[in-house]
Structures are given as C-alpha cells and as structure tokens.
Amino acid sequence: MNLIVPHLPVLQVAIPLIAAPICVLFTFGGHRKLAWLFTLSISWICLLIAGALLSRVVLETDISYAIGSWPPPFGIEYRVDPINAFVLLIISGVSAIALPFARLSVEKEIESDRHVLFYTCYLLCLTGLLGVTITGDAFNIFVFLEISSLSTYVLIATGVRQDRRALTAAYNYLILGTIGATFFVIGIGLLYMVTGTLNIADLAERLKPLSDNRVVHAGFAFIIIGTCLKLALFPMHAWLPNAYTYAPSLVTVFLAATSTKVSVYVLLRFLFTVFGPTYDFVNLTFEFVLLPLAIVAMFAGSVTAIFQTNVKRLFAYSSVAQLGYMMLGVSLCNIPGLMATILHIFNHALMKGALFMALGCVVYRLGAISLGSMKGLGRRMPWTMGALTLAGLSLIGVPGTVGFISKWHLILGTLESGYWPIAILIVGSSLLAVIYIWNIVEVAYLEKETSREQTLKEVPMTMLAPLWVLVILNFYFGIDTDLTTRVARNVAATFLGGG
Amino acid sequence: MSNQSALILAILIPLLGGIGISLLRRAPNLREACTLVSSLVLAFVVYSLLPKILSGATVSFTFKEILPDLALEFNVEPLGMVFACIASGLWIINSLYSIGYMRGNQEGNQTRFYIYFTIAISSSMGIAFAGNMFTLFIFYEILTLSTYPLVAHKQNSDAKSGARIYLGLLIGTSIGFQLVAIIWTYLITGTLDFTPAGILKGKIDPTLLPILLALYMFGIGKAALMPFHRWLPSAMVAPTPVSALLHAVAVVKAGVFTVLKVVIYIFGIEFLSETGASTWLIWVASFTVLAASIVAITKDNLKARLAYSTISQLSYIVLGAALANGLGILGGGLHIVTHAVGKITLFMCAGAIYVATHKTEISEMTGLGRKMPFTFAAFAIGSLSIIGLPPFAGTWSKWYLALAAANAEIWTVIGVYMLSSLLNVWYLLSIVAKGFFAPADELSDRVQPKIQEAPILCVLPPCLTALGCLALFFFAEHIVELLRPIAS
C-alpha cells in the first residue's frame, strides 16, 4: 500500500489516460462488449482514488505532488486541496454511477462498431476533466482542458442514432470552445510574460506586487472570458443547448453533471487563489460583470426553458440558469455565497445527472424526447417519471432536497451583502423552474396516453438502479449536509481568508 | 409507549398506512380497512400525548441537524397538540366518509387517492409538532405537493387548471415570501426555534418589523389572506372528502396554525403589541373576512360558497393573531377547532347531496331537505355552529375573539365580527331554508317526498360531526385550559 498511496494524485489522471489507448484494443478479436466493462472498472478505480484523496485532504493536509520529482515551481505540480478533491469526487462519482446506466443506453443509441471508440473518447474526456481539476499548473490546466474538449466534440458528434444535427452542435461547440481555450491560453501567456512562472501557487505570490500592471489586467480579462465561455455563462452559452440536446444520453448526463462544473472550478481557482478579492479589478469584475450576467442568466435560461418542447433542450436551458446561480454566489464574494456556489457544483451535478438520466430512459423506450410524446408516461413508466419528478423538485429547491440547501445559502449570501432585491429575484427565478417542471408533470400524469404510449414498458432494472441512486442522493444530501457544507465552508473560508 | 416514540409514530403511522394501502391495491376492502386502521391508531397515539401536555410538560425530539443550528426538530406544545388532535380525530370520520363517497361516486384511481391522503395527514402531523420554523416549512411544502394529486384527481381540464392555480399560489407565496422571511429571520437572529417570548425582540429595526410580518403573513398562503386566496376556490375541483378534510381542516388550518405559531413564537405577542407592527394586518384580515363573506353570497355553487366562507373564517383567526393579545390567540386556537368541526360537516353534506342527486348548485336544491332530512339537519347544525349561535361550538371561539378585540379596544373589529356573523346567516341559512321550506321543483315530490339519502357511509359522518358541534359547546373549556399556557 505504501508504494501506491503517495502516488494517488498522479494515478488519478494516469490510470484513465493509459486506459484510453488500451480500450481501443478491444476492437480486435470480438471483445467489443468488454470495452464497457473496462471503462466501468476504470471509473470505479478513479472514484476510489478520489475518495481516498478527499478523505486525506479533509482529515489531514493538502497534498502536493511533484511530477517526475521535479520540485515546484520548476516542474509540474499536482496539488490537492479540499475544493479540487471535492470536484474530483463529483467527476468520478458521476462517471461511476452513469456507466452502469450506459450499457443499454449506448447499445440502443450508437451502432455497435463505434462502441469501442466511443468509450475510448469517454475515457479521454474523463482524463481531461480530472486533470484540469487536480493540476496545480496553469498551462497544464489548458492542456487537460483541450484533452477533455476535443474528446467531448467527438462524443457529442456521435449523436443519438447518428442524428445529423449532432454534427452541427458539435461543430458549434468546437468553434466556440476553441475560442474559449484560445482566450484562456493567451491569458496564461500574458501572466507568464510578467511573472515567468506557470505554477499556480507561485503565480499567486508573484502577482501580489503587480496589481497595477496593465498586462496582468489584460491576462485576467482573457482568462475570465475564456473560462466563462467554457462554463456557458450567459450570453456565451450558445453552444450548450444544442450540444446537450443532440448528444447521446450518457454524454449529456456526464457533461451536464461535470464539465461546466470543472470550468466553474477553474474560474474559482483563478479568481480566488491566483488573484484574490483583495485586488480592485477583481472586485469590480464581481460587481459589474459577473453579478449582472448571473442574474440575466438566471432569468434568460429559465424563461427560455419554459417555451421548449424538446425536454432535453428544456433542461439544457435550465442548466444555463443554474450556472447563473453559481456565478451569482461567486460574485457575492462572501462566505454563504461562495458556499452556495461550491454546494451547487455538487448539488446541481446530482439533480441534472438524475434528470438527464431519466430522459435517457425515456429515449431508450420512446426514441423521442418531445413534450408531446410524453403523454401519460407517468402510468407506463412510473419509476422513470417518478424519478424525473423528484429530481425536478430538487431542481425547484423544495426543502428536503439538495436544491434547497444551495438556495438557502445563496439567499443568505445576498441578504448578508444587503442585496435584498436580488434575493427576491432568486426566488422569482426558482418559481420559473416550477413552471417548466410542472409542464412535464402535467403532460406525464394528467394527459391521456395515445395508443403509441400504451404499449410502452418500464426500462430495465440496470437503468433504473443508477437513476434512483442519484435521486436518493438528491434527498440524502438534502438532509445530511455534514460532508457537503463542511467542505464548502472550509473552502469558502480559505478562498476569502487566504486571498 | 414513551412520549417521544408517540411523537415519532404520529408522523410515521400515516406513511406506514400509505405503504399498506399501496400493497393492498388489488383488494379494495382490505385497502380501505388499512386506511381506517391507520386513522384509528394515529388518533390513539396522538391522544395518548394529551395528558402529558395538559399537565404542562413538553415532549421534544431532535432528528438531525441539517444546517448549522437548524435541526429537523419536533416539539409538542399546546397549540400543536390542539391541531394534531383535531386533524387526526377528524381523519377517522373522514375516512369513513371517503369510502362512502368514492365508492358511491365510482371515482377512479382510488388507491392513489388514499395514498396521497396519508402523506398529507403525515405532513400535517409534522406541521403540528414542528419544533422550529425550518421543520415547519419543510412539512408545509410537503403538504402542498402531496395534495396536488388530490386536487387534480379528476384529471380533466377543470381539474388541471384548478390544480395549477392551487400549486402556483401555494408554492409561489411560500417560496416567494415565506422562505425569504425565514432566511431573513435566521440571518438576524441565528435561530429559528419556536421560543415562548419570540426571537426577534431587540434584533430588528422596528420600522422593518411590519415588512417582515407581511412576508410571513402573505407567505403563508394556506391561511388564504386576500389577495392570495384564489387557490382555495380552485381546490374545490377535488373530490369532496379532500375539500372536507384538507380544505376545511388540515391544509387551511395548517396555514392559520402557522400564522399563530409565527406570531407567538417568532415575533412574540408582547413585542408585536408594543411595536404595533400588526396593526395593518388587522385591517387586511378584516377586509378579507367581509369581502369573502360577500363573495360567498354571490356563489350559487355550494362548494364554492363554502370555500369563500372558509376564506372568511380563516381570517377570523388571522385577525385574532393580529390583535396580539392572549385572548386573541386563545380565540384563534379555539376557532381552529370549532370551525374545523363545523366546516367539515358542511362539506360532507355537500358531498352527500352530490352523491345522492348529483346536484352542485344551490338553486337546484329547493325542497331537497325533505328528501334528505338527515343531511340537511346536519347542515343546519354545522351552519349554526359557524354562525356562532349557542348551543353550538362556534359560540365560544367568537366569544373569545370578540373579547380580544374589546381588550385591544379596537371596536371596529367587534363590528366586523358581528357584521360577518350576519352575512353568515344570510349565505348559510338560506340554503337550509331553501332545502326545508321552499316548494320542491318536481310535482311528485311536492305531494309526498320520499326519503332518498346518500349511502349510509356518506350520511353518518356529517351527523357525527354535527353532534360534535353540540358536544364541543359543553367541552370547550378543556380546550381553553389546554391553550391557556400559551396565551398568558
């Protein structure tokens, strides 16, 4: 054991990275079905590692791991602290829960000769997201961001049953994602120009005397815009709805629950660890850029969601609104607000994971996902629709669910800052969520089913079990908030205290 | 059985009953037996707590701390005891009635109906025994959500739009105002525990106090304070047992119960009367009392008329709370009981008339009293009790409420109570008069009316509650004794 434990940080990324090319080998010799099993086991190993890392950083201290034993700041450093250990756990946890669901869903949606490549890309995407999160090196973030993005473009382009609209969605995302990444790398370049370092901790130290430097300001702006594009902050969200709508169900579940969250993490890292709220230009960004955009996102996303007839797209727009909540929490720049963001990274992963997984079950049986095709589905697929409704309640923020915990902290944060009109806007926008969730509930439970729906059966257990695990977690972490709030409080205090 | 386990059981028994109902869905007789047994057991458990509370002790239980200083916590105190007793007691009678009504009417989806009913009762128990505002809010929302399928039961377009208004207004007010008020309270006091003298004193700028109170009062949409009362008439699309137990007892009383809890334990009666922050509420509640009564007169649909009457009566209790003195609280608490017994009688009679004759409009009910003498007799007694005439229960609650107004020296409020009682006479007794004394529409009925009552399970329950109205007139002092500690 002692041989492995010190190397856990690098193994977290190296295992899926090495697994990806191995997975390709399953193309040969009729072992295609093993690709899924292999990906599943890798995911579970990643989850175990992430769990071990989190328990270590929460109970003991932060971990610094020097790649190739080159001491930081000269070599690449992997640095694990509570916030990124938490995000690692979310990424690998969602992957570990989503993959058991994926076997049937992928078999139905993607033709069999592509399965192996699909899972290979999935592993690369997992690698990228884990890498972005764990690394303590700014340029390394960019590298992993590209690994995850490139594999995501492929995953989205696969499409449900070769839906050609997935190609344009992926292309759109490719263009915008690349612009985002370019902005990000230009920003890193500018900071490197001034400071001569890429290590995040070192960068933070060296930036301290440079708060009036124009180049630093420009670098900051580039980085913020780049990450905001990746996390789909309104009005830079244009790539998201189509990408989520046309991607295969597994990809939507995984991306909706993890990829934007990772970008939120990167943003937090730069705003608080590298720059810190002590700088005037950071505070101005909070007040005059992020705050208004977050509020507009909350409403624009929810209002657009109400008018969607494609349910996957509906929840995609709802994600835009939910990202608005997260950014609002960031821009409040106080403990409850920041806690709300960190909690919501986790909580939103649980609810959107469950929602998109339930939609995956509907696609599995129905093949379509328009609101009109879901008439009376509550009777035919009671477990799927029950899960969808309960996860929807969590999205609304009904007490007893995780959504409530996030909302509580967010409102507490706005009131603490004295922004009471914003508190009213938050509750207003969550009432919009009631409208679009209830559109679905009414169609599914109160409409008469047509003859087409009468022949439908519930999806198999292997799909329902992971779905209900997520639904139950939605309620479990809504009541037992020890772990989540402890981590969130810890992190928020470090971010605001340490600068 | 220890008191603590009785407290936990009170919340769990209905849920266990619900599980039993879903397992027995293929055997309707056993399923209904399951409902009845759980209602009996629940009432037994709740009443077993009564002696303890009467002796002045409290029973509490902390389940889990969800957020810092915010635990899922239960605490039995007199007011909650009164609410739990009335809700669980009337659930037995309503279960009998439900069986008669649902079968007599051949309603569909009966298993679903009974299951959601149990969840609603369980959350009412949660509200009654909540130890802090946070716990109360959780159960308040569960109650709203669990009654949605009951309101939308018929699944036609009327039911759908009615249920939409129902959910929209209740969720809208509770998240839009009440949650903000709760978080605001938590932010300035650091606690949400129900504390006898209130928690706000000295923590809040008195000029902001009326605003916080308004957020609470309009946020508790279940109390149906105007202008957020529309959900209650909309909820009348539900089957009558739902209107009877939930929209005359459990849901609406959960609303006014929450109002009383907030006034007593969050604001504190003394603090409110010192600052005068509730003066505006007196006028809003008075307006609701009168306006809803006047609207009730214009309604020809029997259930709609009863719904507006309920809105008016609920504001009696809010008014009692707004007067911010002990007598007002006492009267309000008592009115929760007396109005519940009276109004459930009226609703069950309305349902019995519907089952027997399929009539819903009052104008069609001329001479019906001679065909359905038991139903109309029960209706007459329920009406008299709500009007507040001796020897029926409603007398006492109006008595205390009027005393409270006199004590606060706000004479207009006494006028409001008097005027509204007269309006009650108008819109309730006119139905009785029409039933018994007006000549019947059909010629054959005029000569020799035949008795055509609804099935026994539809007629017996309202007769029982009508007797209850009479009995409570003589036993009201026990309730007053129970409530006295919180009103002093």
pLDDT over threshold 70, residue A466: yes
For residues B305 and B293, give the distance between their C-alpha atoms in angstroms, rounded to a whole number: 9
For residues B152 and A251, give the distance between their C-alpha atoms in angstroms, rounded to a whole number: 36
User: Which of A416, A480, A481 minimises the CB distance to B187?
Assistant: A416
Higher pLDDT, B202 or A199: A199
Q: Can you say whether residue B375 is alpha, beta or left, with left for phi > 0 and alpha for psi between -120 and 50 degrees? A: alpha
Q: Which residue of B has its CA nearest to A485?
A: B67
Question: What residues in A contact B183, CB-CB < 8 Å?
Answer: 408, 411-412, 415, 423
User: Which of B138, B160, B164 minimises the CB distance to A399?
Assistant: B138
Q: Write down the pLDDT at residue A144.
A: 94
Q: B110 to chain A nearest CA, in Å?
A: 15
Question: What residues in B contact A396, CB-CB < 8 Å?
Answer: 171
List of residues 6+ apart from A205 with CB closer than 8 A: none
**Helix, coil or strand: residue B108:** coil
Angle among Cα B234, B235, B240 to the nearest 5 degrees reads 130
Q: Which residue of B has its CA nearest to A477?
A: B66
Contact across the interface for B171 and A397, Cβ inside 8 Å: no
pLDDT over threshold 80, residue A32: no
Residue to test with chain B: of A385, A395, A398, A435, most B Cβ within 10 A: A398
Q: Write down the pLDDT at residue B139.
A: 92
Cβ pair B383, B453 in contact under 8 A = no
Give A63's DSSP letter: E
Q: Say which range, A272-286, B158-172, B178-192, has the weakest mean pLDDT.
A: A272-286
Contact across the interface for B67 and A408, Cβ inside 8 Å: yes
Question: What residues in B contact A427, CB-CB < 8 Å?
Answer: 175-176, 179-180
Average confidence score pLDDT of chain A = 89
Q: B151 to chain A nearest CA, in Å?
A: 12
Interface of A with B (CB under 8 A): 393, 396-400, 405, 407-408, 411-412, 415-416, 423-424, 427-428, 430-431, 434, 438, 442, 445-446, 478-481, 485
The distance from CA A180 to its chain's CA centroid, rounded to whole angstroms, is: 17
Higher pLDDT, B25 or A354: A354
Angle among Cα A395, A400, A402 to the nearest 5 degrees reads 45
Q: Which residue of A has its CA nearest to B152?
A: A446
pLDDT in tens, A167-204: 999 999 999 999 999 999 999 999 999 998 898 888 88
For residue B185, what are its two tokens?
């309270």
Question: What residues in A contact B173, CB-CB < 8 Å?
Answer: none
Confidence band, pLDDT 50/70/90 cuts, at residue A316: very high
Q: Helices marked H in B238-357 — which ranges? A: 240-241, 251-261, 269-275, 279-298, 302-322, 326-357
For residue A95, what are its two tokens?
């992957």
Question: What residues in A contact B171, CB-CB < 8 Å?
Answer: 396, 431, 434
The residue behind tokens 């007893």 is A400
Contact across the interface for B66 and A427, Cβ inside 8 Å: no
Cβ pair A387, A325 in contact under 8 A = no
Q: Write down the pLDDT at residue B176.
A: 87
Q: Which residue of A has its CA nearest to B187?
A: A412
Residue to test with chain A: of B64, B66, B150, most A Cβ within 10 A: B66
Q: Which residue of B has its CA nearest to A489?
A: B68
Contact across the interface for A405 and B138, Cβ inside 8 Å: no
b/e sequence B200-238, b meaning 16+ C-beta within 10 Å: bbeebeeeebbebbbbbbbbbbbbbbbebbbbbbbbbbb
Q: Write down the pLDDT at residue A1.
A: 59
pLDDT over threshold 50, residue B135: yes
For residues A289 and A459, give the distance between their C-alpha atoms in angstroms, rounded to a whole number: 45
Burial tier of A16 (Cβ tally within 10 Å: 0-12, 13-18, 19+): buried
The residue behind tokens 């994602």 is A177
Question: What residues in A contact B132, CB-CB < 8 Å?
Answer: none
Distance in angstroms between the alpha carbons of the first and the last residue of chain A: 36
User: Which of A393, A396, A427 minimises the CB distance to B180?
Assistant: A427
Q: Write down the pLDDT at residue A499.
A: 41
For residues B348 and B358, give the distance between their C-alpha atoms in angstroms, rounded to a whole number: 14
Provide mean pLDDT across the span B133-140: 91
pLDDT over threshold 60, residue A85: yes
Q: A385 to chain B nearest CA, in Å?
A: 15
Q: Which residue of A has its CA nearest to B150?
A: A446
pLDDT over threshold 70, residue B444: no
Contact across the interface for B176 and A428, Cβ inside 8 Å: yes
Q: A401 to chain B nearest CA, in Å?
A: 10
pLDDT in tens, A396-453: 988 889 999 999 999 999 988 888 888 888 988 888 999 999 989 888 888 877 766 6
Domain locations in chain A as residue ranges = 1-275, 304-499
Provide mean pLDDT across the span A351-374: 88
User: Which of B141, B152, B175 minimises the CB distance to A446?
Assistant: B152
Confidence band, pLDDT 50/70/90 cuts, at residue A322: very high
For residues B401 and B465, give the distance between their C-alpha atoms in angstroms, rounded to a whole number: 23
Q: Write down the pLDDT at residue B449.
A: 62
pLDDT over threshold 60, residue B447: no
User: Which of A400, A412, A431 minimises the CB distance to B175?
Assistant: A431
Provide mean pLDDT across the span A92-101: 93
Interface of B with A (CB under 8 A): 64, 66-68, 72, 134, 137-138, 141-142, 145, 149, 152, 155, 159-160, 164, 167-168, 171-172, 175-176, 179-180, 183-184, 186-187
Burial tier of A61 (Cβ tally within 10 Å: 0-12, 13-18, 19+): exposed
Residue to test with chain B: of A411, A435, A445, A446, most B Cβ within 10 A: A446
**Helix, coil or strand: residue A136:** coil
pLDDT in tens, B307-339: 999 999 999 999 888 888 888 888 888 999 999
Contact across the interface for A446 and B183, Cβ inside 8 Å: no
User: Which of B66, B137, B180 minimises the CB distance to A411?
Assistant: B180
Q: Which residue of B has its CA nearest to A443?
A: B160
Burial tier of A494 (Cβ tally within 10 Å: 0-12, 13-18, 19+): middle
User: Which of B168, B171, B183 minimises the CB distance to A415?
Assistant: B183
Cβ pair A447, A302 in contact under 8 A = no
List of residues 6+ apart from B276 with CB closer than 8 A: none
Confidence band, pLDDT 50/70/90 cuts, at residue B410: confident
Q: Counting runs of H as helices and runs of E as strands, what totals does chain B give?
A: 23, 2
**Helix, coil or strand: residue A78:** strand
Provide mean pLDDT across the span A77-81: 90
Q: B134 to chain A nearest CA, in Å?
A: 9
List of residues 6+ apart from A256 with CB closer than 8 A: A244, A315, A316, A319, A352, A353, A356
For residue A187, what are its two tokens?
């920003």
Cβ pair A275, A366 in contact under 8 A = no
Burial tier of B388 (Cβ tally within 10 Å: 0-12, 13-18, 19+): buried
User: Which of A396, A423, A431 minimises the CB distance to B180?
Assistant: A423
Give A160's DSSP letter: G
Contact across the interface for B176 and A393, Cβ inside 8 Å: no
Q: A423 to chain B nearest CA, in Å?
A: 7
Rounded to two decimals, the ipTM of the complex is: 0.85
Confidence band, pLDDT 50/70/90 cuts, at residue A480: confident
Q: B215 to chain A nearest CA, in Å?
A: 11
Q: Write down the pLDDT at residue B446.
A: 58
Q: Strand B70-76 to strand A63-66: parallel, antiparallel, or no bridges (unpaired)? A: unpaired
Residue to test with chain A: of B67, B141, B175, most A Cβ within 10 A: B175
Contact across the interface for A412 and B183, Cβ inside 8 Å: yes
pLDDT in tens, A134-151: 998 999 999 999 999 999
Contact across the interface for B176 and A485, Cβ inside 8 Å: no
Contact across the interface for B179 and A431, Cβ inside 8 Å: no
Q: What percent of chain B has pLDDT over 90?
A: 14
Average confidence score pLDDT of chain B = 86
The residue behind tokens 């259930």 is B303
Cβ pair A13, A134 in contact under 8 A = yes
Residue type, B467: L
Provide mean pLDDT across the span A48-54: 93
List of residues 6+ apart from B329 with CB closer than 8 A: B260, B263, B264, B269, B320, B321, B483, B486, B487
Q: Write down the pLDDT at residue B17.
A: 87
